[in-house]
């Protein structure tokens, strides 16, 4: 028998929807609706994150048991727990969309282990009152992407929700993957996600949109009490302080995305965590060639609202929407506006510090033009972001620009582009960069070590996840485990894994699932 230290709070302390039927509807004056996961026809376990399992207190025996498969595929509900789906709203692509909610996520329980409390949630375990016109299910390809990427982000040091397990339901799920009228059956899958809380900006917005100040306050008080313990409740100032802290955490999260080249793809307000965690891995992607205008999301190709370079701006826009919701509790607009005005300068400053660390510079007076010019130069010809920054640490103070360029050459997708104007720009940039390096007092060895701690060697490149998906579709899960092991130490050299320290192969350039993803999942 699996024994967990269950400590539910959300479904104990917050108002529930009195209607227990699993019918699609608008839910008012409640934070969630009780719902039971759908029984999968033939559940099986594909992969477990051992690291996450240990963090939650599962034993080896637990992981090998039938009970584990049953609990985390939705076949069985643990005694003493009451699963539920949350009610939230959101702005999708800039427009208020009304009630959304957990359409295919079902919260199982909260588990306490080593003084930390974790919420466990199944994604793809069937319909809920919030499923609207969809089926509440998820397919294997998107579930592999979520399972591996959330663990990869965690090990990269990016605030994120986690993943405990990936299971197959044994059921078939119909999807029109590219929204082009070609529907096909795919394998249904279920991920068990883990986070201190899955509350989003949209959970607050839905109450504000309905002028339900009473429940808005209950949710804010709950969130502050459990997740922002430095804030003293009891005055309107608490909600202002809450907003300021959410802003800081959101800023840190996006800053980390920009550092590692992660593009979320669907930064709607229902996909922004109130804890500043990366949440809802859908059509996300990793920058290969450095391109601020890139988005993996084909649904967003036209406006590219959620492109790489726009992520800080969208975070700010989303915080504005959250401020609008919290205004009902703060009572004054001015201090919220002041908080929002702080975002851009704070981000700029933090971004500068972050770029300096990527460049290995500790000196005080570095002109921000250095990274501004670098970003333009990186975009002149297709240059792999991850490889570029990783190789940058191999440059030494005594190098001439030509020697430095030779060292970072493997980052260029077309080495023959490195001539004429492109070569001149790189030479000019390295001349300035090498001058800065001369002024550094840390040893070359220490600088390299520092740089390699912020510039990952291995990220979950889009094509790598796709290779794991293609193999898993045929029943071979070895690559999922291989990539899982790889991404656990993204900053380590891992010399026997050099094959993954490589540019995207040409076959993956325009392949669906690699550079192009729709929201279909
Ligand atoms: P997303 O932007 O993908 O995070 O989803 C937006 C909304 O659609 C959320 O309320 C999801 O719960 C819901 N949703 C997405 N896919 C499904 C599905 N297959 N079944 C039910 N609801 C879904
Ligand atoms: Mg979502």
HSE of 340 in the Cβ direction (CA atoms, 13 Å)? 19
pLDDT for residue 68:
98
CB atoms within 10 A of CB 114: 9
Q: What is the mean pLDDT of the chain?
A: 97
Is the distance from the beta carbon of residue 125 to the nearest atom of ligand 1 less than 6 Å?
no
Instruction: Give me the count of residues in the chain.
Output: 521
φ and ψ at 289, to 5 degrees? -65, 135
Quick check: CB of 271 below 6 Å from ligand 1?
A: yes
Contact 316, 343 (CB under 8 A): yes
Q: Tell me the domain boundaries of the chain.
A: 10-201, 213-352, 363-441, 462-508
Q: Which of 134, 146, 271 to mutate to test the pocket of ligand 1 (most atoms within 8 A of CB)?
A: 134
What local confidence, expressed as pLDDT, does residue 516 receive?
A: 83
Tell which residue, 36, 32, 46, 6, has the closest CA to residue 191: 46
Please tell me if the CB atom of residue 97 comes closer than 6 angstroms to any atom of ligand 1: no
pLDDT tens for each residue of 241-258:
999 999 999 999 999 999
Q: Which of 8, 70, 221, 270 is catalytic?
A: 270
Q: What is the position in ligand 1's atom list of the atom closest to the CA of 268?
A: 2
Distance 101 CA to ligand 1 centre (A): 8
Q: State the distance from the centre of ligand 1 to the C-alpha of 225, rounded, in angstroms.
A: 29
Percent of the chain surpassing pLDDT 70: 100
Report the predicted TM-score, pTM, of the whole model to 2 decimal places.
0.98
For the stretch 254-270, pLDDT in tens is 999 999 999 999 999 99
- Per residue in 444-454, pLDDT tens? 999 999 999 99
Cβ neighbours around 32 below 10 Å, total: 26
377 confidence band (pLDDT: 50, 70, 90): very high
Residue position matching structure tokens 């975070």:
315
* Residues 110, 7 contacting (CB under 8 angstroms): yes
Going by pLDDT thresholds of 50, 70 and 90, the confidence category of residue 515 is: confident
Shortest-distance Cα residue to atom 13 of ligand 1 = 103
User: What confidence score (pLDDT) does residue 343 get?
Assistant: 98
Q: What is the mean pLDDT of residues 483-491?
A: 98
Q: Which atom of ligand 1 is nearest to the CA of 102?
A: 12
Q: Which of 27-36, 294-303, 501-510 has the highest mean pLDDT?
A: 27-36
Q: Which atom of ligand 1 is nearest to the CA of 100?
A: 10
Ligand 1 atom 23 nearest Cα: 103
What average pLDDT does the segment 376-390 reach? Answer: 97
Ligand 1 contacts CB of residue 503 (under 6 A): no
Element containing residue 486 per DSSP (H, E): helix 478-487
Place of tokens 């103070």: 397
Instruction: Tally Cβ neighbours within 10 Å of residue 23.
Output: 10
pLDDT computed for residue 246 by the predictor? 99
DSSP, residue by residue, 148-189: HHHHHHHHHT--B-EEEEEEEEEEEEEE-TTSSS--EEEEEE
Q: Is 137 in the pocket of ligand 1 (CB under 6 A)?
A: yes
For 200-229, the pLDDT digits (tens) are 999 999 999 999 999 999 999 999 999 999
Residue 464 pLDDT greater than 90, yes or no: yes
To test ligand 1's pocket by mutation, which of 22, 23, 132 has the most ligand atoms within 8 angstroms of CB? 132
Which residue(s) pair with 193 in the sheet?
Answer: 121, 163
DSSP state of 503: P
Residues 125, 136 contacting (CB under 8 angstroms)? yes
Q: What's the confidence (pLDDT) of residue 514?
A: 87
* 353 confidence band (pLDDT: 50, 70, 90): very high
- 112: tokens are 């306490």
Residues 37-49: pLDDT tens digits?
Answer: 999 999 999 999 9
Decide if pLDDT at 301 tops 90: no
pLDDT for residue 292: 97
Q: What is the pLDDT of residues 400-445, one digit of tens each?
A: 999 999 999 999 999 899 999 999 999 999 999 999 999 999 999 9
Regarding the beta carbon of 266 and ligand 1, being less than 6 Å apart is answered yes
pLDDT computed for residue 332 by the predictor = 97
Question: 316-346 burial, b for 16+ CB within 10 Å, e for fewer?
Answer: bbbbebbbebbbbbbeeeebbeebbeebeee
> How do residues 50-100 score in pLDDT, each as one tens digit?
999 999 999 999 999 999 999 999 999 999 999 999 999 999 999 999 999
Kindly state if the Cβ of 131 falls inside 6 Å of ligand 1.
yes
Q: What is the pLDDT of residues 115-150, one digit of tens each?
A: 999 999 999 999 999 999 999 999 999 999 999 999
Of ligand 1's listed atoms, the one at least distance from the Cα of 92 is: 2
Residues 436 and 447: their CA atoms lie apart, in Å, by 13
CB atoms within 10 A of CB 442: 14
Residue 478 neighbours by CB under 8 Å, 6+ apart: 471
> Among residues of the chain, what percentage have pLDDT more than 90?
95
- Check pocket membership of 90 for ligand 1, CB cut-off 6 A: no
Give the pLDDT band (50/70/90) at residue 511: confident
Ligand 1 atom nearest to CA at 519: 3
510 is catalytic: no
The reported pLDDT for the residue numbered 277 is: 99
Distance CA 192, CA 123 (A): 6
Asked whether 48 and 63 are in contact (CB, 8 A), the reply is: yes
Starting from the CA of residue 123, give the closest ligand: 1
């Amino acid at each position: 028998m699996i024994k967990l230290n269950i400590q539910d709070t959300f479904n104990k302390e917050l108002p529930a929807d009195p209607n227990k039927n699993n019918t699609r509807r608008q839910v008012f004056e409640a934070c969630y609706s009780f719902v039971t996961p759908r029984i999968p026809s033939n559940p099986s376990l594909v992969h477990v994150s051992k690291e996450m399992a240990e963090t939650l207190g599962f034993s080896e025996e637990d992981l090998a048991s039938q009970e584990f498969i049953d609990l985390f595929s939705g076949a069985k509900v643990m005694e003493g727990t009451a699963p539920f789906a949350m009610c939230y709203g959101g702005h999708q692509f800039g427009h208020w969309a009304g009630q959304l909610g957990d359409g295919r996520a079902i919260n199982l329980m909260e588990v306490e282990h080593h003084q930390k409390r974790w919420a466990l949630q199944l994604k793809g375990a069937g319909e809920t009152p919030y499923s609207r016109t969809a089926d509440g299910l998820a397919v294997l390809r998107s579930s592999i992407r979520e399972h591996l990427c959330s663990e990869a982000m965690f090990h990269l040091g990016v605030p994120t929700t986690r993943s405990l397990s990936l299971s197959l339901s044994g059921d078939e799920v119909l999807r029109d993957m590219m929204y082009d009228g070609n529907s096909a059956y795919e394998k249904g899958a279920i991920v068990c996600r883990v986070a201190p809380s899955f509350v989003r900006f949209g959970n607050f917005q839905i109450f504000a949109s309905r002028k339900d100040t009473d429940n808005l306050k209950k949710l804010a008080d709950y969130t502050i009490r459990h997740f922002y313990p430095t804030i003293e409740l009891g005055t309107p100032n608490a909600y202002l302080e809450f907003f300021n802290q959410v802003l800081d955490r959101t800023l840190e999260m996006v800053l980390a995305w920009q550092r590692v080249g992660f593009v979320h793809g669907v930064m709607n307000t229902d996909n922004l965590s109130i804890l500043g965690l990366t949440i809802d891995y859908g059509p996300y992607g990793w920058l290969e060639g450095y391109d601020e205008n890139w988005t993996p999301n084909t649904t967003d190709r036209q406006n590219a609202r959620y492109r790489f370079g726009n992520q800080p701006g969208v975070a700010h826009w989303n915080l504005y929407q959250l401020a609008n919701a919290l205004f009902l509790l703060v009572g004054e607009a001015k201090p919220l506006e002041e908080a929002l005005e702080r975002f851009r300068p704070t981000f700029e400053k933090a971004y500068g510090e972050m770029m300096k660390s990527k460049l290995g510079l500790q000196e005080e007076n570095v002109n921000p033009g250095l990274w501004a010019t670098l970003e333009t130069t990186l975009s002149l010809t297709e240059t792999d972001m991850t490889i570029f920054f990783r190789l940058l640490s191999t440059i030494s103070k005594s190098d001439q620009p030509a020697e430095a360029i030779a060292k970072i050459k493997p980052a260029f997708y077309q080495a023959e582009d490195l001539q004429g104007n492109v070569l001149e720009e790189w030479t000019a940039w390295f001349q300035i960069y090498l001058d800065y390096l001369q002024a550094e007092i840390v040893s070359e060895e220490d600088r390299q070590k520092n740089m390699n701690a912020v510039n990952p060697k291995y990220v979950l490149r889009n094509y790598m996840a796709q290779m794991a998906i293609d193999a898993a579709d045929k029943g071979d899960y070895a690559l999922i485990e291989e990539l899982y092991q790889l991404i656990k130490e993204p900053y380590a050299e891992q010399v026997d894994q050099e094959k993954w320290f490589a540019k995207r192969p040409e076959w993956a350039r325009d392949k669906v699932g690699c550079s192009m993803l729709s929201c279909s999942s």
